[in-house]
Amino acid sequence: MILCLETATPSCSVALVHNGEVLACEEDPKGQNHSEKITLFIDAVMKKAGISYNQLEAVAVSMGPGSYTGLRIGVSTAKGICYAVSKPLIAVETLHAMAYGMVDTFPETSLRIPMIDARRMEVYAAIFDENLNKIKDTEAVIVDENSFSDLKKDHQLYLFGDGADKFAELFEKDEKITVVKDFHCSAKYMNIIAQQKLNNKDFVDVAYFEPFYLKDFVPGTPTVKGLK
């Protein structure tokens, strides 16, 4: 029994997984108030499944990349539960879980490219083959009309995630690139990876684990009228 938390993007979700199967899921795909919803969602899925915290075998958290604030909320919540009930912590890469969310959607030999918005024309992206093997590591990339020119020679490409939505118009006339719009991250897509990591006892250190931010956090400068 694994409690899965996803807060890396504007989508906030919680799922309860047993032997790789999703028993319950609560999610809000378009909110930004993760700190208000995450504990409510956790309580809801636990009650829906009739499970106590002591019956959990582990807590899994989406590790990023993604929103700095969202990742901090998810990881700190996961750590708090792990400490409270003495359970191990599992870290799941966000883009890998997204790829599992589309595992049965695309034709064989096509490439899956999950994308998380990193503002303007930049995204966090990785590339997976039809067996969900990562063939290009996660990186922050600026996408233009010439992106993926080498890959699309031999493959059909499918882009999805909130980072991909903004490129729908850019690639609408490209027969080799399909943008799948309105795909949202979800804790339920963590089920297979989390179960595999539990079976292999692939845990992270509850005390020292940090999210995968990919880029350093740069706080904005507050503006106060009359002050420079």
**pLDDT reading at 216 higher than 80:** no
Residue 158, strand partner residues? 112, 178
Mark whether 78 and 17 lie in a shared domain. Answer: yes
Q: Quickly tell me which residue has 């399909």 as its tokens.
A: 178
Q: Rounded CA gap, 18 and 23, in Å?
A: 7
Q: Total domain count for the chain?
A: 2
Mark whether 165 and 190 lie in a shared domain. Answer: no
Which of 27-41, 52-66, 83-97, 191-205 has the weakest average pLDDT?
A: 27-41
| 3-state class (DSSP) for residue 126 | strand
Beta strand 89-92 with 111-117 is unpaired
Mark whether 72 and 128 lie in a shared domain. Answer: no
| 3-state class (DSSP) for residue 162 | coil
Where helices occur in the chain by DSSP H, the ranges are 34-49, 68-85, 94-101, 191-199
pTM of this prediction?
0.91
CATH number at residue 175: 3.30.420.40
Question: Who's near 63: CB < 8 A, 6+ residues apart?
Answer: 8, 71, 75, 91, 92, 93, 94, 211, 212
**CA distances (Å), origin 136, targets 92, 124, 132:** 17, 12, 11
Instruction: Count CB neighbours of 56 within 10 A.
Output: 18
In a domain, 212, yes or no: no
Q: Rounded CA gap, 19 and 39, in Å?
A: 23
Mark whether 24 and 83 lie in a shared domain. Answer: yes
Q: Give the per-residue pLDDT at 166.
A: 93
Q: Give the per-residue pLDDT at 126.
A: 97
**pLDDT reading at 222 higher than 70:** no
- Calculate the average pLDDT of the chain: 91
- Higher pLDDT among residues 161 and 103, named by residue: 161
> Could you tell me the pLDDT band of residue 104, with boundaries at 50, 70 and 90?
confident
